[in-house]
């Protein structure tokens, strides 16, 4: 197996710093200002000893000048959903362990992705940063256990690949506390036995561990000390398959050209994700959120199943024009294609005047280039970096 564990770095704090870049270089945490606890702290705050789970009052004593941001859980969930959309373009076997971490089974996907797990991990990191503006650490290994340990080793904002023949070398020098399920109580029992490192556990007879810790836990610890973990990535199937993206502007805008550019970007991102999953659809939904946070959605149907950026963009723009907005200030736009079906289950009738090679082949070539070289390898002229700088965050 080839398993990746993706762990977002200081997730809540990172999301807030993406929204408010001025917080990046000052100590800050997300949580209650006087009561409650610290939910997430950035690295400048951690330098003062502030950590997650700490009472807010203590954090403020450690660093009186710390900036405090009240949590916005709806926004965090939206960003997490956008990150999940990125994972789905890599593999259909994704297990969200929490709002800010996930396991991805890359075993089958590697055949399509070119056979280099480290390159896939770097692609994941680049796409999350490019689309969501938050860093993540990626660990890759032959099991969930090793992948999770590797992602911890990779922090902050890094990648660690542990190949099958490197497991023992990687694992055995670690302290016993590194093993899943070893808390303070279990660690104290192991220390009484003179077991300090994972290697110490591996070199201890299984029966000795079972007598000290119980049959189940002793056996589990012995297996984990040798890197043996057969747990599979448990993925969920959505009740109705859909793929979408949405973008929040840095400043509310009534510039119709700017809005059209972002609708094109969302159509392209959505279409590329559909192609990665080999899904096609006909139902396009456009969502618009205004400066007063009022939102509307409009849905239309394309004549034939498609995964083409141009088709999806054309329908989204048709829906946008039908709104007849009179310089309304817009905060966010989104494009989603719903009721998707596998591409192999559909038939597309080619037009008589259709060239032998066209947009379908061009988009497939662009997808391959992005997969190999990163999200900015090939871009439409309208979507270059100069246009990108006007946006703050994207969520799906």
Give the C-alpha separation, 381 to 245, whole Å.
20
For 302-320, give one letter per residue: b (16+ CB within 10 A) or e. beebbbbbebbbebbbebb
Cα torsion for 126, 129, 135, 138, to the nearest 10°? Answer: -30
Catalytic residue among 101, 262, 268, 315: 101
Annotated binding-site residue? 165: no
What totals of helices (H) and strands (E) does the chain contain, helices first? 16, 14
Give the C-alpha separation, 247 to 335, whole Å.
9
Annotated binding-site residue? 100: yes
DSSP 3-state of 68: strand
Give the C-alpha separation, 198 to 175, whole Å.
6
184 labelled catalytic: no
DSSP 3-state of 289: strand
CA-closest candidate to residue 103, choices 194, 228, 235: 235
Give the C-alpha separation, 280 to 33, whole Å.
47
Question: What are residue 348's phi and psi, to 5 degrees?
Answer: -115, 120
CA dihedral sign, ordered 223, 119, 19, 73: negative
Residues with Cβ within 8 Å of residue 373, at least 6 apart in sequence = none
- Could you tell me where the beta strands, DSSP code E, fall in 70-217? 94-98, 101-105, 136-141, 159-161
CA-closest candidate to residue 316, choices 210, 244, 253: 244
Q: How many CB atoms lie within 10 A of CB 275?
A: 21
Residue 236 CB-density burial (10 A; 0-12 exposed, 13-18 middle, 19+ buried):
exposed
- What crossing angle do the helices spanning 73-90 and 117-132 adopt, rounded to 10°? 150
Give the C-alpha separation, 251 to 159, whole Å.
34
* Alpha helix (H) residue ranges in 21-99: 43-46, 56-62, 73-90
- Would you name the residues annotated as active-site residues? 101
Annotated binding residues for Mg(2+), written as ranges, equal 7, 100
Annotated binding residues, written as ranges, equal 7, 100
């Amino acid at each position: 197996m080839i398993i990746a564990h993706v762990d977002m770095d200081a997730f809540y704090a990172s999301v807030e710093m993406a929204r408010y870049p001025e917080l990046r270089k000052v100590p800050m945490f997300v949580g209650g200002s006087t009561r409650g606890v610290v939910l997430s702290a950035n690295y400048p705050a951690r330098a003062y000893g502030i950590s997650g789970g700490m009472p807010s009052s203590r954090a403020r004593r450690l660093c009186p000048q710390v900036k405090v941001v009240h949590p916005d859980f709806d926004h965090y969930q939206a960003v997490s959903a956008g990150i999940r959309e990125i994972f789905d373009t890599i593999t259909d076997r994704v297990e969200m362990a929490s709002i800010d971490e996930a396991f991805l089974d890359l075993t089958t996907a590697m055949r399509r992705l070119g056979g280099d797990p480290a390159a896939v991990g770097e692609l994941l990191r680049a796409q999350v940063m490019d689309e969501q503006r938050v860093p993540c650490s990626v660990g890759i290994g032959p099991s969930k256990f090793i992948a999770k340990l590797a992602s911890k080793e990779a922090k902050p904002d890094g990648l660690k690949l542990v190949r099958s023949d490197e497991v023992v070398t990687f694992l055995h020098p670690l302290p016993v506390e590194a093993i899943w399920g070893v808390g303070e109580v279990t660690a104290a029992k192991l220390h009484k036995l003179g077991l300090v490192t994972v290697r110490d556990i591996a070199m201890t007879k299984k029966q000795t561990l079972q007598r000290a810790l119980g049959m189940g836990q002793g056996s589990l610890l012995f297996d984990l000390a040798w890197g043996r973990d057969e747990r599979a990535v448990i993925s969920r199937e959505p009740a109705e398959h859909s793929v979408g993206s949405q973008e929040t502007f840095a400043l509310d805008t009534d510039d119709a050209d700017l809005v059209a550019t972002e609708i094109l970007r969302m159509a392209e991102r959505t279409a590329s994700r559909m192609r990665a999953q080999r899904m096609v659809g006909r139902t396009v939904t456009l969502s618009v959120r205004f400066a007063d946070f009022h939102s509307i959605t409009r849905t239309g149907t394309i004549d034939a199943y498609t995964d083409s950026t141009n088709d999806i963009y054309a329908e989204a723009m048709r829906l946008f024009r039908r709104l007849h907005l009179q310089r309304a200030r817009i905060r966010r736009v989104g494009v989603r294609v719903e009721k998707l079906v596998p591409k192999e289950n559909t038939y597309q009738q080619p037009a008589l005047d259709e060239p032998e090679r066209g947009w379908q082949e061009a988009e497939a070539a662009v997808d391959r280039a992005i997969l190999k070289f990163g999200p900015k390898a090939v871009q439409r002229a309208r979507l270059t970096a100069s246009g990108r700088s006007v946006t703050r965050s994207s969520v799906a």
